[in-house]
Amino acid sequence: MQEMTSRQILDQLVSFPTVSRGSNLALIDWLEAYLASHGIESHRHWNEDRSKAALFAHVGPWVAGGVVLSGHSDVVPVDGQDWTSDPWVVTERDGRLYGRGTCDMKGYVALSIWALVQAHKRGVTRPLQLALSYDEEIGCTGAPPMIATMQQILPQASVAVIGEPSSMGLINGHKGGTGFHVHVKGYEVHSSLLPYGVSAIMEGARLIGWINAKNAEIQARPASAAAATFHPPFTTLHVGMISGGTAHNITAGDCRFAVEMRVVPDEDITALAAEFEAEAARLDAALKAVNPQAGVTLTRFFNVPGLKPETEGPAEALVRRLTGANAAGVVSYGTEAGQFQDAGYSAVICGPGDIAQAHQVDEYLELSEWQAGQRFMLALLEDLQ
């Protein structure tokens, strides 16, 4: 294929409606062919039913110690959003590039693909790798198996730059997250016979009460130095939706809700999840004592480690060198950066765009941000020479 500009690559990427509920294979097929046409071999990691794939590639000397440019291929839906222009076509107007994923995060991915091809053409003395995951938007579930496969095939890079929108600022920390789908199974009787039944809603409320009490306990503690850099400066547990019950005069047969935990990186996310699991197990046993059909079932639906700031970390040093940044920040949302860090990479977040635009109707990337991202990639290519 003819070599494309970064903007042409962005147009191509946005044209693939890679919503997480569907397949991303059309994009992966195109990217694999595009890289191959420029002499770059790429590798896939498939999901279980082979409906999606991650893709990764390496250019430069076949040695350890390179840089990974990491992004995700999936985007959120546009259902119910009244877009001014076609969300699957990049539209430039008023100094902005509109389209689903331009900000989160196909803008960065396009720049990364361009930089990979340029690094291969120019020849670099330090390797550059590309890592493109799937299912980031539904819990960062695609990155860990991709990283494990990368480490089996490619030389281990030392630095990973995850290009989530940060207005090209240096982000060196974020909260971890985990969550459970909770199903409380009750036993239906007429409400006048309440002691002989199990109200799933009333029993589920006990778990929500535990969550409220845990939030109060956490917020009453003095914030650690690491927590104080976040907004809010503490771990949070949250229930956003609940459903269940048949009628006001029947003990509820079912209650369903989800709990999410956003944990500051110096706290033990596994221990907090285990506390909740233990509380659910106690309630499960109590309900079964009333009626063996009743109980509590937990299903973990995401688990994302936090990103911990690294003292004199090579990833932070690289981004400071390329951008001239003097300060670093943290964010309360989760990314794949913590997963790279857990796998042994020095990791930071730095990418074009404002996170406030992510997932929005008429999502856009400011042209000034796009240009800053282009300058970052040019500086990276010089650094790798």
Instruction: Kindly give the residue spans of alpha helices, DSSP state H, lying in the chain.
Output: 6-14, 25-37, 107-122, 143-153, 200-220, 269-290, 314-323, 337-342, 367-384
* Start-to-end C-alpha separation, the chain: 25
79 in catalytic set = no
The predicted-structure confidence for 54-85, as pLDDT tens digits, reads as follows: 999 999 999 999 999 999 999 999 999 999 99
pTM attached to this predicted model: 0.90
Query: Tens of pLDDT along 205-248?
Result: 999 999 999 999 999 999 998 899 999 999 999 999 999 999 99
- The SS3 of residue 45 is strand
Catalytic residue among 32, 74, 284, 363: 74
CA dist list (Å): 281 to 44, 188, 297? 40, 21, 9
363 catalytic per annotation: no
Instruction: Give the integer Cα–Cα distance in Å for 54 and 28.
Output: 8
Q: Which of 32, 135, 136, 336 is catalytic?
A: 136
Report, as an integer, the average pLDDT of 263-284: 96
pLDDT range class, residue 5, cuts 50, 70, 90: very high
Average pLDDT, the chain: 96
Q: Which two tokens stand for residue 38?
A: 């420029």
pLDDT attached to residue 311: 85
Beta-carbon contacts of residue 60 (< 8 Å; ≥ 6 apart): 66, 119, 120, 123, 124, 125, 126, 127, 128, 384
What's the mean pLDDT in 91-103? Answer: 98
Return the half-sphere exposure (C-beta side, CA atoms, 13 A cut-off) of residue 241.
Answer: 6
H or E segment and range at residue 242: strand 236-244
Q: Which two tokens stand for residue 283?
A: 């309630």
| Residue 332 clears pLDDT 90, i.e. is over it | no
